[in-house]
Structures are given as C-alpha cells and as structure tokens.
Amino acid sequence: MQRMHIPTTTTIAVALVVLAAGSAQAQSLPDDFVYLRDLDPGIRQDIRYAGVNNFVGRPLAGYDANECIVKRSVGLALQNVQRELAQQRLSLKMLDCYRPARASRDMVAWAQDGRETEAQRRYNPGFSKRDLFRLGYIAEVSGHSTGAAVDLTIVDLRAPKGPAFDPNRVYADCTAPESRRAPEDSVDMGAGYDCSDAKAHTAAKSITADQRRWRKLLVAAMARQGFVNFSKEWWHFSLPGVGKQAYDFPIARRMR
C-alpha cells in the first residue's frame, strides 16, 4: 500500500509562493508594455496568430495567448480612437499587436519551407509564398516587435454577430466577395485580413464605394491619434516615435 503524504503548513505556504511567482512572471511586461484589456476592455480582440485562422494555419511561436500587448502610449491612443468610434456604435477589433521576434523568424521558416497548401493560398492567391518578402508583405524584422505597430479593423455593433471561422471548411481566397471568404465578424473592407494582394492596398481602386468608405473612416480615426497606415495593408498602423527596439518575450495569458 502506498503511503499517503499529508502536506504540512510549510509545504502549502511554499506552494502558494511558487504559484504566486508563476502568476507574476506570466503578467510581467518590460519597458512600459501593457495589456490593452487593462486600458480598455471594450476594444475587441481576435489575435489571429494565436490560433489557426491565419496564413500559416497554426499559432506562431511566442503567441501563447489571445492577448493584445502594446506600448502604453499606443494603448492610450487606441483608447481615444475607440471613444470616437463608440459615438457611431462602432468598435475597434485588434488582429495583431506586439509580435515576439521569434514569431517573425517562424514566418521566415514557413515562407522558405517549399510547401504550398490551399489554406495558405487563400492569403496570397496571386503568387508563391516565397515571394512575400521580396514584395514587402512580410519582414524579417517587424515593427510589431517594438510594440508600436498594430493590425486592426472595425466592428459595427449594430450588425448581428457573424459566423465563426470553421477550419474544416473550404473558403474562397481573400479577394473574393465577403460571403465567400473566411468570416471575420467585422465590416467589409473589400479584402480579408493579411491578404497579400493589390486589392488589400489601402487605396485600391477595385473595391466598392462602401468598402472604401470603411477604409477611409478607419484611416481618418487612426490618423487623428497620430497613427500612420501602411499603404499595402488597410489594417496595419504604427505610431511613430514610440520605440525602435525589437523584443522577443512571449505573449502570456493575462492573469488579472
């Protein structure tokens, strides 16, 4: 018969200290980084590289939680954008925020692995994934790793909730009409998130008037808080002057 071990008061106290230390480590962020939820829990989050609904088809290295982490000044500026949009019954939805440098290295390895799948082709329908770096759609060193860049879109709070992404369903590519491409539960910007195509360029001519109106609304609201849009991606914005250093700490679950 196995002898039963009854924990002493000292053992329990030590265990609690270890658990507390682990929680503190999971929440510890360097150099003025913050969880966006701590500043504005109303901003929606769908951090795509923390799941399977992205061009790689799996979580990227370092994305251990569906959490948006940014520099505090970026978070405060996003909070101001959210307040403006709320007056129109709209909300921001974060798609990517701080990106660990290891995730960018993961992207590099993926782009060079020589394999193409239908799911991946949804994001770059016009060319091979090995051309993504040459064409400027993926960078070996990303501004996201500084905490100053974000990917986001707009949700119309008056609209019914859209369908969930189904990893087993075959969707049309990211340039297709909204009803045929993968659902994003946001306004129709004319091309899906992370779409490597001219149709995703912010000033693309091949989109409808309504789609152009949504893009202009997002760009204008972000610009009023100092954000600059990347012309090849309607979803990508950065806040100049926040910082140039790239970081590589993993995105841990927020414990509060």
- Reduce the secondary structure of 134-186 to three states and give it as a string: CCCCCCCCCHHHHCCEEEEEEEECCCCCCCCCCCCCCCECCCCCCCCECCCCC
Residue ranges of the binding site for Zn(2+): 144, 151, 236
Residue ranges of the binding site: 144, 151, 236
Read off the DSSP letter of residue 83: H
pLDDT at 243: 77
Annotated catalytic, 233?
A: yes
Please give the model's pTM, rounded to 2 decimal places. 0.87
C-alpha 165 chain-centroid distance: 16
pLDDT at 26: 45
Neighbour-count burial of 121, counting CB atoms closer than 10 A to its CB (0-12 exposed, 13-18 middle, 19+ buried): middle
**Segments making up each domain of the chain, as ranges:** 32-238
pLDDT at 27: 60
Architecture of domain 32-238: 2-Layer Sandwich (3.30)
69 Cβ neighbours under 8 A, 6+ residues apart? 29, 33, 34, 35, 36, 97, 98, 147, 251
Per-residue pLDDT of the chain (256 residues; tens, 9 = 90+): 333 333 443 333 333 233 333 333 346 899 899 999 999 999 999 999 999 999 999 999 999 999 999 999 999 999 999 999 999 999 999 999 999 999 999 998 998 888 888 778 899 998 888 888 778 787 788 999 999 999 999 999 999 998 999 999 999 999 999 999 999 999 999 999 999 999 999 999 999 999 999 999 999 999 999 999 999 999 999 999 987 899 999 999 998 6
pLDDT at 112: 87
